[in-house]
Structure 1
Amino acid sequence: MTIARAALKGPATSIGSDRTMRFVMHLAALAGLASATPAAVANERPDFSIGAIADAQYAAEPDSGQRLYHTAPAKLAAAVADFNRQKLAFVVHLGDFIDRDWESYDAFLPVAAKLRHPWHYVLGNHEFAIDDAHKPLVAGKLGMPARYYSFTSHNWLFIVTDGTGLSSFGWPAGSPEYTRSMAAHAALYAEKPLWDGGIDDEQLRWIDAQLAEADRRGMKAMLFSHFPLFPENPHNLWNAAAVMAVIERHRSAKVWLDGHNHDGNYGEHAGVHYLNLKAMLDTPETAYARLDFFADRVVVRGFGRQPDYVLPLRP
C-alpha cells in the first residue's frame, strides 16, 4: 500500500480541522482525491457524520499509571458537549465504557446521557470486569438491543459486533458460553491473551449474511468492534484471520473501527480499512473523533491526541 500525506486546511472547528490532516490512501484512489484542491476537499459537505470514542473506561479508583480514572468524567462530558454542537447521525462508544465494578455504570452513564444524539455501544473486555451475576445484564444496562446487532443510516449498514462472544470474561463461570469459550481457547488460541476475545461461529455466520445482503442492495458497510483485526498486534481478536476472511470477500465492507489498543493503529488489507482509535482514558489530553461520510471516502477528524485520516472507499 502506498501512503501519501498532504496538508488539509479548512475552517476551524472544535474537532481540530485546522491541524494537519493525514491522508491514508491507496495508490489507485490517490488520483481521484489529488485532483481536488485541499480547500475544496475541506469545504465539501459530507453526506452525514458520526461521533466515535474508544475506551473512556471510568472507575471510582485512584489513578494507576496511564489509567487516569479521575479525568474520565470531565473528558467524556467535554466530548458530549462538543458532539452536541454538531449535526451527527449518532455517536458510538467502541468498548470499555467502564474499567470495573457494576456500580461504575450508574456513576458514568449520567454523563453520557447528556448527549442529544443516539448512542450505540460496543462490548469490550472491561464491560465485564464485574461480578458474574450482573454479566447477563450489561447489554441492557447500556441500552443495547442485543450483544451484537446492525442498523442502517444514509444507505450505510453499521454492524455492531461482539468480540466477547468467545472470551474468558464475557459470561458467568460455568455457563455453556463460558465452557465453549475456554475449550476454544485451549484448543485453538492458547497462545492468545485471555484479555482478548473472539467472534463465535454463529455470530460470524450472521455477519457474513448481513454483508451479503448489503452487497445485494448496493450498500456500504462499517463494522464496529472493541477488538482490532489488523495490523497484527497482541490486542487483536483470537480469530482475527477468520473474521477478516469473511468481511474481505464482501465489496460492501469498507471500514472496521475499533479500540482496545490504547495507542491506536491503522492498516489497510484487501481494500478494507482497519482503524483503531486511541483511548480517551490514558492521558490528560482527550481522544475522540468525528467521522464524515462522503460518496468516495470517510474523513476521520480527530480531537486531542487522535490523528486525522482520509479513508478512500473501494468501489
Structure 2
Amino acid sequence: MFRIGVIADAQYADKDDEPPRLYRRAPAKIAEAVETLNHAGIDFAVHLGDFIDGDAKNFDTVLPLTAKFTCPLHSVLGNHDFAVAEDLKPSIAARLGMPTRYYSFEHKDWIFVVLDGNDLSTYGWPHGSAEDVASRKLKAERYPDAPNWDGGLGAAQLAWLEGILAAADRAGKRVALLCHFPIFPENPHNLWNAKDVISLISPHPCVKLWLNGHNHDGNYGVVSGIHCVNLKGMLDTEETAYAVLAFYADHIALKGYGRQPDLTLALR
C-alpha cells in the first residue's frame, strides 16, 4: 500500500475575487494542504493543473509554497497555466519542474502517466507557431463547437500513450492516467477528443484510473471498468478541496478534505 496527495485547480491570481472564484485565498489553501499532506504519509504529491491564472508572475507566489513538500511533486499542465505572455508559453512545463509536457514514471507496481491535454489547443502554444496553427485548423475542421478553454491529445502523444499501455500490459503493471481534463462522464469540460482517448485506453486492462481536475464542481464515472475521478477545484470554495489516495491491492481509497467527498474505487 502507498499514498499520494492530490490537489486540483488552485488557480492563484493576484486579482479581486470573481465569486465563486476566490483568487487571493489560494496561497493560504495551498500552504495548509502542503502542511497536512506532509503529515499524511504520502509518497508523492500531484497538482492536476491550473496552478495559476492571468500572469506568469503568479508562479513566484505559489511555487515557494509547494517547495515545502517533503516528498516529490508532479505537476500536470492546465489551460490557465498558459494564461501568460506568448513568449513564455514554451517554458511553462520547465517552470513547473516537469521534464517534458507529458511523461510517465513508475512507483511500486504502478505506472503514472502525466498527460498534456493542452497539446491540441487554441492557447497552449505561442500564437502563430506550427502547433498553434495546426491546432486551430483541427478544431475548425473536427471540433468546431468545442469550447476554446478545452484541449486535446495530439497524434504523437496518443501513439506514445499506446506504447506505454502496451508495455504495461505485458509487464503486468497497473496504470493511472493524470490529466487536467476529464474524458467521462460526458461534459462540456471534456477533452476535445475524449471519445478517441476512451477508445485507445479501453482495451488495455492495465488502465485502472483517470484522475483530473478542470471541472471545479467535480465528477465521477466508470467507463470500460476505468474509474474517472474529477477532483473538485480548490479555487472556488470558502474552505478547501484536495485528497489523499491510498493504493491497495484490490481498491483505491480516496479521502477528501474540505468539500472533496470520499470515494472507494474497487480495482478490476
Q: Which TM-score applies when normalising by structure 2?
A: 0.99
Q: Percent identity?
A: 54
Secondary structure, aligned partner of 1:136: helix
* Map of 1:134 onto structure 2: 88
Q: Aligned equivalents of 2:68 and 2:121: distance in 1?
A: 32
Secondary structure in 1 aligned to 2:146? coil
Superposed displacement of residue 206, structure 1: 0.6
Residue 54 (structure 2) pairs with residue 115 (structure 1): no
1:284 aligns with 2:233: no
The within-5 A match list for 1:187-266 is: 187-266=141-220
For 2:122 and 2:161, the matched residues in 1 are separated by 22
Q: 1:66 is matched with which residue?
A: 20
TM-superposition CA deviations, 1:82-118 (whole Å, max 9, x none): 0111221100000000012010011211111111110
Task: Give the corresponding residue for 2:53.
Answer: 99
Contact 2:105 2:111 survives alignment (8 Å): yes
Kindly indicate whether the alpha-carbon contact (under 8 Å) linking 2:27 and 2:61 is maintained by their aligned counterparts in 1: no
Partners of 1:298 and 1:208 in 2: CA distance: 24
Q: Aligned partners of 1:297, 1:65: CA distance in 2, in Å?
A: 37
The equivalent of 2:7 in structure 1 is 53
d(CA) in 2 for partners of 1:170 and 1:204? 17
* 1:137 to partner: Cα distance: 0.6
What SS does structure 2 have at the residue aligned with 1:285? coil
Q: Does 1:168 align with 2:122?
A: yes
Stretches of 4+ moved more than 3 A in 1? none
Q: Aligned partners of 2:59, 2:24: CA distance in 1, in Å?
A: 15
The answer (yes or no) to whether the contact 2:76–2:116 under 8 Å persists in 1 is: yes
Map 1:294-313 → 2, pairs under 5 A: 294-313=248-267
CA distance in 2, matches of 1:103, 1:96: 14
Shift of 1:190: 0.4
Alpha-carbon distance between aligned partners in 2 of 1:48 and 1:108, rounded to the nearest angstrom: 27
Secondary structure in structure 2 of the residue aligned to 1:137:
helix
Please provide the CA RMSD for this pair: 0.5
Which consecutive unaligned segments of at least 5 residues does structure 2 have?
Answer: none
Q: SS of the counterpart of 2:116? A: coil
1:228-250, Cα deviation, whole Å (9 max, x unpaired): 00000000000000001111110
Code of the aligned partner of 1:255: L
> 1:70 & 1:125 partners in 2: Cα distance?
19
TM-score w.r.t. structure 1 length?
A: 0.84
In 1, the alpha carbon distance for the partners of 2:62 and 2:255 equals 25
What letter corresponds to residue 133 of structure 2 in structure 1? T
Matched, 1:78 2:39: no
Q: Distance in 1 between matches of 2:64 and 2:98?
A: 16
Alignment length, in residue pairs?
A: 268
Larger Rg: 1
Structure 2 counterpart of 1:244, one-letter code: I
SS of structure 1 residue aligned to 2:111: strand
Q: Secondary structure at the match of 1:159?
A: strand
Q: What amino acid is aligned across from residue 60 of structure 1 in structure 2?
A: D
